[in-house]
Amino acid sequence: MTMSGRVRESGQFVRFVAAGVLAETPAQVSRIELMGNGGRWVFARTAEGGWRRDRDQRPVPPPLGTHLDEALKFLHASAPVRILDQREWAEHGLGEFGLERPALSAVLLNDDQRLLAVHFGSTNPQKVLQYMRIDGRDEVYVMSRFVGAEWEQALAEVEP
């Protein structure tokens, strides 16, 4: 360190590389539109970094805010396990993956600019992976189950 002026890197240190489907950082998401269970809810980020309901400007309860933050982090950091191009799923259709009518959808925005819209379908038979679609793309993404589960937990915390 005295010779170079830098801290020596350890060979065991692994640098974080965001490999998820959300290219922007979670902090760049200022609004979330969450749809599922027959409802639609909109959340806006506060100046302090928390979340509030867009409809009545009330802060969201801490568990919901935590689930929203974690769900964004997972979309940013977690790479798809596999990406199925249209040739691989077209014969059977999106219904095979639970994506004809997704159980849950989330639209992520930065102010009024749409960053990403994701739709979560069914899980694989072993329940460790989940199918996901992204608006504007022809692929079906096979994601680790914890990604969609975090959105589902957020939806379960929403008050009507």
Give the pLDDT of residue 16.
Answer: 52
Q: Is the pLDDT of residue 6 over 90?
A: no
What is the tens place of the pLDDT at every residue in 87-121?
A: 999 999 999 999 999 999 999 999 989 999 999 99
d(CA 36, CA 97): 17
Instruction: Name the fold adopted by 26-157.
Output: Immunoglobulin-like (2.60.40)
Give the pLDDT of residue 18.
Answer: 72
Q: Which two tokens stand for residue 153?
A: 């937990």
Give the pLDDT of residue 121.
Answer: 97
What is the tens place of the pLDDT at every residue in 73-90?
A: 999 999 999 999 999 999
Which residues lie below 8 Å from residue 56, measured CB to CB, with a gap of 6+? none
Among the ranges given (47-51, 137-141, 144-148), the one the predictor scored with the smallest mean pLDDT: 47-51
The mean pLDDT of 19-43, rounded to a whole number, is 95
Which residues lie below 8 Å from residue 52, measured CB to CB, with a gap of 6+? 43, 44, 46, 58, 59, 60
Give the pLDDT of residue 17.
Answer: 67
Question: Taking the model in full, what pTM does it have?
Answer: 0.88
Q: Which two tokens stand for residue 154?
A: 């957020």
